[in-house]
Amino acid sequence: MELALIYRELSEVEFKVLKALNSLLTRYEYVPLEELEGRVKLPSTHILKALYKLTEFKAVVKHPTMPWFRITYVGLDLTALKKLSEAGVITHLGTRVGVGKESEVYIAKAGNDEIVAVKFYKIGRVSFQKVRRVRHYTIDQTNWMLMSKTAAEREFKILNALNGKTPYVPKAYGMAEHAVVINYIPGVELIRYRDAREPLEILKKILSAVRCAYLCVGVVHGDLSEYNIIVSSTDEVETPYIIDWPQYVYVADPQHEPLLLRDVEYVIKFFKRRYGVYIDVSKALRYVRGLSDEL
């Protein structure tokens, strides 16, 4: 069932139960019923009824043998939506528009009627091996949901820092739990953007954003590729947006060096391969590091 539909089916009691399960996430995998009753402060028949309905919607899972309950990603999505809606960040949730390697992205309407994207982190849904490559910063955490919350916080923080400094990243509107709200970019990923009119200009814009991240904010993206760039095209102009920032590293971290090289090399090679346009990698690195102002 679609997330927006489930959201509309839930009562305040059910949201209260979800909120309590979520707040106990750091202490329990499965929350015992008594603990939940202590938190929610409602008659247990009400709580059980709510749990039954939440289980039907797959927002909660019951332990196979014990009266213990665990919130699922669906439950976390609903909790985040409730918070975002109460804070006035979003007013209406639409359909799912993207699935990444560790997230699901929905289109939504913001308080000011702008169209936004809600990115719900879903770490742990794909194999750990695939994620490990870019997820060095939380490798010792065991709980996927807590990792997803950390990722959302990191992405929100860095987009906020970049906003106003480069036009080539999405604008951040807000966050809650494991969800980040950013402006919706009407376009396609660079990998699926076939016939660029001015490929060299797009590449230069991307490198200018990499430079800005490095010089103005002191960070390296760390997972830059043709999958993490969306190109929005009008009759006049093609604008790239670098998305998907949670694995960023600060330039104070020695790890940033190989990552910066990888990021820069990756996009340059992509443009060479697909469009035959080329910028010298060491020249681009000097530009990004602020050692020269030209590309």
Task: Kindly write out the interface string for residues 145-174 of this chain, putting x where it contacts ligand ADP by CB under 6 A and - elsewhere.
Answer: -------------------------x----
Distance (Å) of CA 280 to CA 91, 244, 277: 46, 25, 10
Site for Mg ion in 217-246 (CB under 5 A): 228, 244
Instruction: Answer yes or no: are the C-beta atoms of 274 and 194 closer than 8 Å.
Output: no
Site for ligand ADP in 217-246 (CB under 6 A): 227-228, 230, 243-244
In this complex, which beta carbon is closest to ligand ADP, that of residue 69 or of residue 120? Answer: 120
Q: Which positions ≥6 away from 78 have C-beta within 8 Å?
A: 3, 6, 7, 10, 15, 18, 59
- Determine if 100 is a binding residue for Mg ion (CB under 5 A): yes
Q: What letter does residue 171 receive in the DSSP assignment?
A: P
The Cα 136–Cα 253 span in angstroms is 12
Coil, strand or helix at 91: strand
Candidates 53-61, 98-106, 158-166, 206-214; binding stretch for Mg ion (CB under 5 A)? 98-106
Q: Which positions ≥6 away from 112 have C-beta within 8 Å?
A: none
Give the position of tokens 């916080």. Answer: 153
In this complex, which beta carbon is closest to ligand ADP, that of residue 116 or of residue 284? Answer: 116
- The DSSP bridge pattern shows strands 115-121 and 103-110 to be antiparallel
Find the binder of ligand ADP among 77, 102, 177, 263 (CB under 6 A).
102
- Determine if 97 is a binding residue for ligand ADP (CB under 6 A): yes
Site for Mg ion in 169-188 (CB under 5 A): none
The Cα 78–Cα 86 span in angstroms is 12
Instruction: Provide the edge-to-edge strand list for the sheet that holds 115-121.
Output: 90-99, 103-110, 115-121, 179-183, 172-176
Instruction: Answer yes or no: are the C-beta atoms of 106 and 117 closer than 8 Å.
Output: yes
Instruction: Give the total of residues touching ligand ADP (CB under 6 A).
Output: 19
**Partner whose footprint covers residue 79, from Mg ion, ligand ADP, none (CB < 5 to 8 Å by kind):** none
Minimum CB distance to ligand ADP, residue 46 (Å):
37
Structure tokens at 109: 């309407």
- Determine if 126 is a binding residue for ligand ADP (CB under 6 A): no
In this complex, which beta carbon is closest to ligand ADP, that of residue 82 or of residue 119? Answer: 119
The Cα 245–Cα 261 span in angstroms is 17
In this complex, which beta carbon is closest to Mg ion, that of residue 150 or of residue 228? Answer: 228
- Determine if 213 is a binding residue for ligand ADP (CB under 6 A): no
Find the binder of ligand ADP among 103, 138, 148, 150 (CB under 6 A).
103
Which residues of the shown chain bind ligand ADP in the complex (CB under 6 A)? 97-98, 100-103, 105, 117, 119, 170, 182, 184-185, 189, 227-228, 230, 243-244
